[in-house]
A and B are shown apart, each in its own frame.
Chain A
């Protein structure tokens, strides 16, 4: 399904394009594009768990938090180099992902949602109470990596965009593999999947581990991009933000995981012109997109004949 976006087939070409435009962008553009890249990573991981494997998890911000704090603490206290800290943050998130994955194994649907929701809140709580390590609610400054010859904003742009392209490509390969097909089988019917010889326990845990890794890496990059983190930044609103992104982009679609963050983040930046009405215009943007494309933008592409304007007309007629 993602394959119809042919420009995504050439991540290398994309990498070159972004590398070439980097130096002519101003800091605001670099920052917003970096932010989009971070959320593309986060959304891709979440979509693997939620959209492909069908696990109704609403505690995903926990992995973002774990990754962010791990990267910050490993660099501050252990003086680990940036790249090592980011990978270690991803790995640590995987351990937590496996743990929560085991806890929720007997649960489905809303029951799974509720426990993961509480897991997310508990992680924020621990981060706020473990003050020796995290400095509590007052938060931690996060060091920024230096690449000789590049401004720190340009460096972050290359790091985030590069990581996003690599991780999206990895996810594309994954969904086309046996694992990806097993995810979809579990989503459609766990019983049928196990009849086919697919171990639901094993693949649910794999889905948790992979999405936690994406969340952890995204968290490490987000922390570095923001250069200051507090536990409050990882509350339920973060999960809701990324949930909105994948629903608007397209559940169960890698392309959707890219489109969603672009629409939500870029939309919010464009809507800055609406000044103090931004909360309303942003809400209307979400509502409008979801009514026009309930299956997500990537879902629209599946129905080539769908006519957006016809859809608007029929909606108006129905009212």
Chain B
């Protein structure tokens, strides 16, 4: 066989193999639900820019669902979790979700953390009349405006702005600086915090930006220091934040720094408790510091299952979210429909976990379950943890 012939053959075979199999359209009952199993499809970033979050949400979902299955499943059905990598790429994310819906015929989609992917994927899912349930994405767009088929058990960035602004106001600042990361996360946190600060008659006086891949924040901090800001707010991710913190310490900027949830990272807390001891706070979804009493149950199960993996604050939050998800499925009973599931999530009673400070609750007109955010911080080498509810 000539090379040219084999190439043609191989390519055709690949296309055919791909186009073969599948193509069954039986919709007598709800897709993905059989007598003894319910298929849940999850897209998450196993690689790409936020694989660290993507992987942790996948692992914790497996942990919770496997435990449920070991105990006999939900209403006689085992959870069959099928995970696809969205690679942090919207095109690959849509492919992942479409595969889950059409090939694996999952009953609903359990979403991943990366916003650009979530925004491309969720309209596809709900157009099909299928629930998009996210334990991970923090973008407000998922549930604002209200949509019947999207659920969010993560603190959204606009909700995170509430404790950030409240703490900022408590310092009675004369000048506030905001360092916005040059991406979607920075833009949304900025907008949200401007709206919240207005409630205290405060505004942002010094606006700075930083590239997510920046290797220095020297200019930004120098300008903030020159402007005399006495509170520094930040919306962004740990890598760029580490420069801001190191630079603030280096240039002797004493203003307290408050970051959104993106700043709730182990590496950052290690930094502010050792090398760059500045006054620093970050939004946390938890009721206590990770590793303290409220996460004891989670930590025990996590360490047993993944002894080599460090959990994040968001892993414990993902754990609580997965438990909420399982409870909703249980309440929906054995005869499953999308409408029945929606009703079950909307009407289930308040769901309390030790990890999340306030009981989680979806309402018929509000599909955000998390109602409170705490702040985790360091000041003079001391650890501070405090919080307040969000009036949703």
Contacts and interface: CB of A to CB of B under 8 A. Distances in A.
Given A269-B18, A275-B85, A304 B3 contact: yes
A131 B3 CA distance: 52
B102 A262 contact: no
Contacts of A262: 11, 14-15
Interface in B1-38: 2-4, 6-8, 11, 14-15, 18-19, 22-23
Contacts of A139: 116, 119, 184
B247 interface: no
Interface string A131-171: 00000111101000000000010000000000000000000
B119 A228 contact: yes
A32 interface: yes
A228 B123 CA distance: 9
Contacts of B166: none
Contacts of A227: 120, 123-124
A279 B49 CA distance: 12
A232 B184 contact: yes
A272 B43 CA distance: 12
A21 B22 CA distance: 13
A141 B121 CA distance: 11
Given A26-B103, A31-B94, A301 B3 contact: yes
A230 B3 contact: no
Contacts of A128: 182
Given A26-B23, A230-B90, A276-B85, A35 B95 contact: yes
Interface in A267-316: 268-270, 272, 275-276, 278-279, 297, 300-301, 303-308
A24 B184 contact: no
B116 A275 contact: no
Nearest to B120: A228
A136 B19 CA distance: 38
A25 interface: yes
Nearest to A301: B4
Contacts of B22: 26, 28-29
A305 B83 CA distance: 43
Contacts of B23: 24-26, 29
Interface string A49-93: 000000000000000000000000000000000000000000000
Interface residues of A, number: 51
A306 B14 CA distance: 22
Contact of A31 (B3, B87, B98): B98
A266 interface: yes
Contacts of B184: 136-139, 230, 232
A232 B182 contact: no
A286 to B, nearest CB: 14
A220 interface: no
Nearest to A7: B8
Nearest to B124: A227
A222 interface: yes
B354 interface: no
B99 interface: yes
A233 interface: yes
Nearest to B18: A266
B186 interface: yes
A259 B124 CA distance: 28
A278 B99 contact: no
Interface string B97-124: 0110111000000000000100110011
Interface string B351-385: 00000000000000000000000000000000000
Contacts of A305: 3
Nearest to B4: A301
Nearest to A8: B8
A32 B97 CA distance: 12
Nearest to A26: B102
Contacts of A244: none
A173 interface: no
A222 B90 CA distance: 11
A5 B11 CA distance: 12
Contacts of B120: 226-228
Given A7-B8, A138-B184, A269-B18, A31 B95 contact: yes
Contact of B46 (A25, A136, A276, A301): A276
A31 to B, nearest CB: 5
B6 A308 contact: yes
Contacts of A272: 84-85, 96, 99
Nearest to A139: B119
A278 B46 contact: yes
B187 interface: yes
Contact of B8 (A5, A29, A233): A5
B299 interface: no
Nearest to B118: A228
B91 A222 contact: yes
A27 B101 contact: yes
Contact of A226 (B58, B91, B188): B91
Given A31-B98, A227-B123, A272-B85, A138 B188 contact: yes
Interface in A11-55: 21, 24-29, 31-33, 35
B194 interface: no
A189 interface: no
Given A26-B23, A301-B7, A32 B95 contact: yes
Contact of A137 (B92, B99, B103, B187): B187
B47 interface: yes
A233 B183 contact: no
B55 interface: yes
A21 B119 CA distance: 30
A31 B165 CA distance: 43
Interface string B115-145: 0100110011001000000000000010000
A199 interface: no
Given A226-B120, A276-B58, 7 more contacts: A28-B102, A31-B95, A138-B184, A138-B188, A233-B116, A269-B99, A303-B3
13 contacts: A21-B19, A28-B98, A29-B23, A35-B91, A136-B187, A233-B89, A259-B7, A270-B14, A275-B85, A276-B46, A278-B46, A301-B4, A304-B2
Interface of A: 4-5, 7, 21, 24-29, 31-33, 35, 128, 136-139, 141, 152, 222, 225-230, 232-233, 237, 259, 262, 266, 268-270, 272, 275-276, 278-279, 297, 300-301, 303-308
Pick the 6 closest A-B CB pairs, nearest first. Answer: A137-B184, A279-B47, A301-B4, A28-B102, A228-B120, A26-B102
